[in-house]
Amino acid sequence: MCDKQCKSVCGARTGALVGCGNPLLDISATVPMDFLKKYEMNEDDAILAEERHMPIYRELVDNHRAEFLAGGSVQNSLRIAQWIIGKPNVAVFFGCVGQDDYASTLREKAREAGVDAHYQVSADTPTGTCAVLITGTHRSLCANLAAANKFTIDHLEQPANKALVENALYYYISGFFLTVSPPSIMRVAAAALAKQRPFLMNLSAPFISQFFMQPLLDVMPYVDIIFGNEAEAHAFATAQGWPEKEDLREIGKRLVALNKLNASRPRIAILTQGCDPVLLIQHDSIQEFEVTSLAAHEIVDTNGAGDAFVGGFLAQFVQGKSLDVCIRCGNYAAGHIIKNPGCTYSGAPQFVE
């Protein structure tokens, strides 16, 4: 797969990056605002489905020309990273799927993207789905985890999977996975700490800080790099009762100052703000990285932009590039994804270091 464009990144070895998350099949469609109101949702929501949301998936398929895309936050990020790296199986993914056609589609899409997916299989629960509701340039997500919610630490303890975890050099887990298997997260975090290897995590959505703060705080001492957008950072600060809950820079400073087990590697916070500059916050500095503005007609779908940012970052990070290169690649990937429907890409990556 390697060509001139990826010579510099093909040093990343097979299995270097392990990610854990919720594999979901995205069911994506453009809908009117009334559709959101019907299901008591807002623009740019990211929520877990409740009973009242369950008809949404069939309605999208039957009435709104829905598209099916391989999704789930971490799996998206790993697909983007693989696209930029250009060498298969650098990224290993763990998550749980059902025993159905949706799972077959996810396996096929992961393989096509170069991700080495090792799914746990739930025989009695369908593969998880996520409704992606597009209204103009906004998107709202409603995830029915289903089988994704069945992931257990036992899967990571299987000898072949345990070896993959132990042999990785980098680890990435989303906050979304806190709703599924905190023991699995702690198992991976402990492996990263024992081997002195970077453990990266994402705040993922405001509801994680609102309803799953304790497991988030439990894993935070292991986290070397924390990602989040402004809404997620504000939600974390509000849940913690920080007086600076409206000041993103101050929130970032507090995030990096939270208790950390590996004091030799100070925590880093990377906070995105849509079209405003990305903030790189370290214990002794705050840097800004400009985001290239897009014309309104260029914006097709913001779904997956955050996942793409992390994917672009990881693509450079796993081959030892500097943080500024990693962030610029993250911005490149997010900008590319926004021009495509869903978390999809087209053509060869054009990032220039």
User: Any idea which residues carry the catalytic annotation?
Assistant: 307
Q: What is the CA radius of gyration of the chain?
A: 19
The amino acid at 70:
A
Q: What is the distance between the alpha carbons of residues 107 and 98, in angstroms, rounded to a whole number?
A: 11
Rounded alpha-carbon distances, angstroms, from residue 20 to 64, 78, 117, 231, 283: 31, 10, 10, 23, 27
What CA dihedral angle connects 344, 349, 352 and 353, to 10 degrees?
70
Q: What is the distance between the alpha carbons of residues 349 and 306, in angstroms, rounded to a whole number?
A: 17
Furthest-apart CA pair in the chain: how many Å? Answer: 55
Strands 46-48 and 17-20, bridge-based pairing: unpaired
End-to-end CA distance of the chain: 20
| Angle subtended by helix axes 230-240 and 248-257, to nearest 10 | 60
Cβ pair 303, 343 in contact under 8 A: yes
Cβ pair 54, 27 in contact under 8 A: no
Sequence-separated (6 or more) residues with CB below 8 Å from residue 102? 25, 126, 127, 129
Q: For 207-229, give the DSSP string.
A: HHHHH-HHHHHHHGGG-SEEEEE
Place of tokens 């409206």: 246
- DSSP run (H or E) holding 236: helix 230-240
Closest CA to 147 of 25, 304, 18: 25
Cβ pair 106, 7 in contact under 8 A: no
Cβ pair 210, 48 in contact under 8 A: no
